[in-house]
């Protein structure tokens, strides 16, 4: 059946009420089109660019992409510790700046955080560096080493040599995040080939806003269970009971990121008011088993995909 200008049929157009006047989007003034597009999302703006030349021009305008950038983006850029001053970089357009920030996390706050934008929504993303986290025994070289890593965005990562007590905590003010946004926090790490102590012993992860714990759960930090020999077990405070592989298989496991690191979700929350301090925690202190071979890149807080 023949289609009209709006994806409706000719018959449907003929049945419009008397006095109905249809106006195509690309027949509107460019400023009006830009206003409409600015009320959508970056992903929608890119899709709308395919409608017509007029819409493409409006959708690429600085007016549209200024609305997709955080209102405080210039202040955030001024905190950058990149080799070049991002606040003075010459971007040809706000869209180019947005694209850069959605594909290139920048270091801020003396390298203690990275900042980027979610390319679909324009919401803020932060990763907290290991040096800005509380790593229990992290200042004892026999237990943790601070090293450079070619695949890390930060100057240093924390590599676990040997501990029984495994605990990592991080904090961030929710005022730094985008409002009215569902966020999730993720532990970002790697396991070396010789890692042990994480396969059959769940860790407890939790997320709290102020004094209120929002969520707590058990997870496995080792991405594989089936098909592996029993982990190396020694130096126990007590001999563990028979391991229930069926129960372990139902726990959440890490997933591999596009950058090759692993991540496990700590918890999620809705940032409505942005006036609290959020604390994230990862612990395994009950099993009494030695652990080694864990490399910590940081904790990332980003919008949670619906």
Q: How confident is the model at residue 297, as a pLDDT? A: 98
CA–centroid distance for 54 within its chain: 34
Ranges of residues in the chain whose predicted pLDDT is under 50:
1-10, 12, 226-239
The predicted-structure confidence for 190-249, as pLDDT tens digits, reads as follows 999 999 999 888 999 999 998 889 999 999 999 875 444 444 444 444 445 566 777 887
The whole-number pLDDT of residue 52 equals 84
pTM, rounded to two decimals? 0.85
Say which residue the tokens 């102020």 belong to. 210
Q: What is the pLDDT of residue 8?
A: 46
* Residue from 189, 178, 198 nearest 290 by CA: 198
Report d(CA 42, CA 67) in Å as an integer.
10
Look at residue 144 in the predicted model and tell me its pLDDT.
Answer: 98
pLDDT value, residue 85: 59
């Amino acid at each position: 059946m023949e289609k009209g200008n709006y994806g409706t049929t000719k018959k449907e157009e003929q049945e419009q009420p008397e006095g109905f006047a249809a106006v195509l989007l690309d027949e509107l003034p460019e400023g009006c089109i830009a206003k409409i597009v600015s009320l959508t999302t970056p992903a929608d703006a890119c899709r709308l660019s395919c409608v017509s030349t007029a819409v493409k021009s409006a959708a690429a305008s600085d007016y549209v992409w200024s609305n997709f950038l955080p209102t405080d983006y210039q202040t955030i850029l001024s905190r950058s510790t990149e080799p070049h001053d991002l606040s003075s970089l010459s971007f040809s357009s706000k869209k180019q700046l947005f694209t850069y920030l959605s594909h290139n996390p920048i270091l801020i706050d003396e390298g203690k955080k990275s900042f980027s934008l979610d390319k679909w929504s324009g919401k803020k993303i932060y990763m907290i560096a290991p040096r800005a986290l509380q790593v229990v025994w992290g200042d004892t070289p026999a237990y943790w080493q601070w090293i450079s890593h070619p695949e890390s965005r930060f100057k240093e990562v924390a590599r676990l040599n040997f501990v029984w007590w495994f605990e990592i905590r991080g904090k961030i003010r929710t005022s730094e995040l985008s409002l009215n946004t569902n966020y999730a926090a993720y532990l970002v790490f790697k396991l070396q080939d010789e890692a042990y102590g994480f396969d059959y012993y769940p860790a407890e992860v939790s997320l709290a806003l102020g004094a209120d714990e929002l969520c707590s759960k058990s997870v496995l930090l080792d991405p594989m269970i089936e098909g592996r020999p029993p982990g190396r077990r020694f130096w126990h405070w007590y001999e563990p009971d028979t391991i229930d592989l069926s129960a372990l298989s139902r726990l959440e496991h890490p997933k591999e990121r596009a950058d090759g690191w692993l991540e496990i979700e700590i918890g999620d929350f809705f940032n409505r008011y942005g006036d609290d301090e959020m604390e994230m925690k990862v612990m395994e202190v009950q099993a009494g088993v030695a652990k080694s071979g864990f490399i910590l890149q940081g904790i990332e807080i980003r919008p949670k995909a619906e």
